[in-house]
Amino acid sequence: MSSSPNLYFDAASTAPLHPVARQALAAALDEGWGDPARLHRSGRQARMLLDAARETVAELFGARPDEVSFTSSGTQAVHLGMLGALRGRRRTGRHLVHSAVEHSSVLHTAELFAADGGELTAVGVDRAGLVSPAGFAAAVRPDTALAVLQSANHEVGTVQPVAQTAALLGEVPLLVDAAQSAGRLPVPPGWSLLAASAHKWGGPAGVGVLAVRKGVRFASVLPADERESGRVPGYVNVPAIVAAAASLRAVRAEAAAENARLHALVERIRTAVPQLVPQVEVVGDPVHRLPHLVTFSCLYVDGEVLLTELDRAGIAVSSGSSCTSSTLTPSHVLAAMGVLTEGNVRVSLPTGTTAEQVERFLAVLPGLVARVREPLGLDLPAPAAAVQPTAAAVPPGGAEPHAPASDALVLDALGKRCPLPVIELAKRFGEVEPGRLVVVLADDEAARLDIPAWCEMRGQAYEGEAPAADYGADRGFAYLVRRLS
Amino acid sequence: MSSSPNLYFDAASTAPLHPVARQALAAALDEGWGDPARLHRSGRQARMLLDAARETVAELFGARPDEVSFTSSGTQAVHLGMLGALRGRRRTGRHLVHSAVEHSSVLHTAELFAADGGELTAVGVDRAGLVSPAGFAAAVRPDTALAVLQSANHEVGTVQPVAQTAALLGEVPLLVDAAQSAGRLPVPPGWSLLAASAHKWGGPAGVGVLAVRKGVRFASVLPADERESGRVPGYVNVPAIVAAAASLRAVRAEAAAENARLHALVERIRTAVPQLVPQVEVVGDPVHRLPHLVTFSCLYVDGEVLLTELDRAGIAVSSGSSCTSSTLTPSHVLAAMGVLTEGNVRVSLPTGTTAEQVERFLAVLPGLVARVREPLGLDLPAPAAAVQPTAAAVPPGGAEPHAPASDALVLDALGKRCPLPVIELAKRFGEVEPGRLVVVLADDEAARLDIPAWCEMRGQAYEGEAPAADYGADRGFAYLVRRLS
């Protein structure tokens, strides 16, 4: 609630309704409530408002009005856009290229396509979450029907090189998922299909945008319907669309000034957190980034416990840690980047966030992290020692296989969930001499990512995975860590 | 606009927003704007409101809360419900049964299913638009995966015998499309899947309901998503759902009194129109009908011209005439009933309609119809002579084939659109003696329905279709009418 002293720093999940959206919604409920498909006066009035909203969105996204259809969410725009393009180009082939850090709506559509016989190539990213344009383009084949790339990552804020990538794709259409940047940043050129979501820019829930460039082959996979150029069936939500368009115009007009302000506030968080909290990794590209979003991970911290502590302190943030997901797997984005997933916090600032609010957050955070860590009794280095990671992502599957080491310290963390395996490692690591091996047996998904990340932050050597059976366990994996210092 | 003296009689397209919906929407925009999937306070608040709305809708529809999912429209509820049930039961078979008068969302889903190899049986209706429970059940086969039946027809208001039909279907799940009755009437028992649309009961646009009984096999056809029990992907529009649930409760509470009032007003229209307007057919079941909806067709009238005249007079209605559809085909509902499609007017009264408003409509209508007919110079019988149709629907394909009659009066209406072929027939019919044949050559879709309907209304004999070539034409059909009196 706007009157409370709470800090809402989860704009990337949903932004508070922009005042212009609220005003436009109220007006459109009065003037645009009719069925735009009808010939009578209230139908015509609704249709006029719908046409005007379409023109606004088209203009601001660099599209023609007849290229723009409204959906009921960004997810629906991605689903229908991808499936429609894949079906429209099925004679070209059944190969789909996407980055490994796309939104789940893209990955779930890719899974459905693969289950139906399609072939996928997921293009990896570097440790900052960036796609390489040349690497992405190299994945394209003669039978590639569609490529999908986000404008900016929803979890770590890294802005992708969309225009450079699009320029290398030749005839292959590129669907750009602009959900996280639309409104805040201009839509990057080069898209053939574009998806966006109004509630992320301060519009109401219930409105997404799917734009399809004229000439791009598209065949809807849903039952026929005359609404929205045959691309999105169902009754059109005119009042919400009017509010979405009005707020998009308002947000774009404010963006230059607001982005500069929020960019500085995020820079302050990026700099301050590692100074204030020991053993923290700020993730995501420090330069190519969204103005309002920053993500960091805290060693030895249970993400859900930290989120709960922050919530009790009146601060709303989000997390990609496995303990906060219903499937108990860590964020696929953090995994693809090869960064620490435990104690993960995503801070995304809504329009109007003040420096005072950011300072309030920074004042509260260190004490909360310390309180969560306190029961562990770990001896942590001072914050200044926080390591800025530089190495490339850990190769999947780890280093070369080893013969089982007979003199290793074996730590049994089987059945323990994130962050317990890493805590176990940190607590008992001092028991071995430099040069000796520590083996962590674990079956939690997050351990595969967090043990290498721990090694990197602590300057120790991660030597890869071995079969758990080599160390007498009947499940999970053995993670090999050599003490260097 | 509510302040204008206009009459909005198109509630079946979309109902004006109920005051309770508007109030609840404003409150939920303040309190329920968060992402209900998030763990923090604004997320929990949104989730609590969403849960409460789900409980309300479940209670009022006779479902369990976990059986209810929210969609973005009634059309989406029908699409996802049908496709999910058909996919969930594909091992049982690939046969779908539906009535011939279902909403286009059902027919379009059936077409998609048929294009994918499914088999369809469309069950016919009588001249009042009623399905026969035994006839519907007789269409079910061992490989029937799903049956679909509307609670009430959206064009003519006929209430279908859903409970009696459901009782005859055995193990075959029945999807009930309750879009036209939900809110006004209780949901009929016997459904396995249920679809409804909030903006039809006075809720906001952007909310549909899909309920799936526990135990009914269901496999979503869209990409996976954790929202709405995995049945409806995409961000959930909590404020609109809260408003939909609140207005459903309000509308149900008012329904008994309001239905009685509107039922009487519709009865007044059903009785008065044939007394005031010559050559009118009131269609739809006079007993088993929605309280607020009545449809009639006027001979020798272009539906679009009449709608435009009514709109100029400030009266908003809808029409199933071919000239008002983008495809220039008459309503499939009127076609299945075998009734007149020309000059079709659907009047659907919103909550709160007064007797004075209905009288205003009745005072204006006869003059407008007369004005539309005036240029034709037809000699019409007095209104009291309007025939109440009693015969069964015209058999498809007409009566037995004839040898071409050499002494017939042949009228060339090729290339002429509804209502011109019937007008041509009426104008020149007097030129032949009783006992002689008139042949109308026409290629307009509506002629197939409207010429038999004209015969019935005028007490003449419709003798079926013959190839146009029999009468020297290279396209269209020859419709044979014998003058009886």
Interchain contact A357–B (C-beta under 8 A): no
Of the candidates A298, A323, A418, A455, the residue annotated as catalytic is A323
Contact A205 B238 (CB under 8 A): yes
Of B13, B74, B111, which is closest to A224 when you measure between CB atoms?
B111
Query: Which of A29, A38, A105 lies at the smallest CB-CB distance from B223?
Result: A105
Contact A320, A346 (CB under 8 A): yes
Check pLDDT > 90 for residue B226: no
Active-site annotation holds for A323? yes
Q: Distance from A289 to chain B by nearest Cα, in Å?
A: 23
B255-385: CATH topology: Aspartate Aminotransferase, domain 1 (3.90.1150)
pLDDT at B376: 84
Domains B19-251 and B255-385 share a fold: no
Which residues of A fall within a CB distance of 8 Å from B225?
75, 104-105, 108
Of A13, A31, A74, the CB nearest to B35: A13
Query: For residue B227, what is the nearest residue in chain A, using CA coordinates?
Result: A75
pLDDT for the residue A329: 83
- In sequence order, which ranges of B374-446 are alpha helices (DSSP H)? 420-428
Q: Is A72 on the interface with B (CB under 8 A)?
A: yes
**CA–CA gap between residue B279 and residue B458 (Å, rounded):** 9
Cα–Cα distance for residue pair A275/A267, rounded to 1 Å? 13
Cβ–Cβ contact A240 with B under 8 A = yes
Contact between residue A97 and residue A136 where contact means Cβ atoms under 8 Å apart: yes
* Among A341, A286, A294, residue whose Cα is nearest residue A457: A341
- Cα(A279)–Cα(A264) distance, rounded to whole angstroms? 23
| Per-residue confidence (pLDDT) for residue A383, from 0 to 100 | 73
Give the distance from residue A303's alpha carbon to the nearest chain B alpha carbon, in angstroms.
11
Q: Which CATH superfamily is domain B409-482 in?
A: TusA-like domain (3.30.110.40)
Cβ contact, residue pair A318, B38, below 8 Å: yes
B75 — contact with chain A (CB < 8 Å)? yes
Distance of CA B98 to the CA centre of its chain: 14
- Regarding the domain delimited by B19-251, which CATH topology (the fold level of the hierarchy) does it fall under? Aspartate Aminotransferase; domain 2 (3.40.640)
Kindly report the CATH number that applies to the domain delimited by A256-385: 3.90.1150.10
B44 pLDDT band, cuts 50/70/90, is very high
Q: Which amino acid is at A356?
A: E
Do residues A313 and A405 make contact, with C-beta atoms less than 8 angstroms apart? no
The predicted model gives B413-438 an average pLDDT of 92
Residue A397 pLDDT > 70, yes or no?
Answer: no
Confidence of residue A392 (pLDDT cuts 50, 70, 90): very low
Task: Give CA A159 to chain center in angstroms.
Answer: 11
Q: Are A339 and A127 in contact (CB under 8 A)?
A: yes
Strands B7-8 and B315-316: parallel
Could you tell me the residue ranges of all domains in chain B?
A: 19-251, 255-385, 409-482
Residues whose CB falls within 8 Å of the CB of residue A359, separated by 6 or more in sequence, listed in order: none
- Residue A402 — pLDDT band, cuts 50, 70, 90? low
Q: Which helix (H) or strand (E) holds B177?
A: strand B174-177
Q: Which residues of B touch A239 (CB under 8 A)?
A: 204-205
- Supply the mean pLDDT for chain B: 92
**A310: chain B residues, CB-CB within 8 Å:** 40
At B485 the pLDDT is: 86
Strand B68-71 and strand B208-212: the pairing is antiparallel
A27 touches chain B (CB under 8 A): no
Cβ–Cβ contact A170 with B under 8 A: no
pLDDT band at A398 (very low <50, low <70, confident <90, very high): very low
ipTM for the whole complex:
0.90
CB B202 within 8 Å of CB B23: no
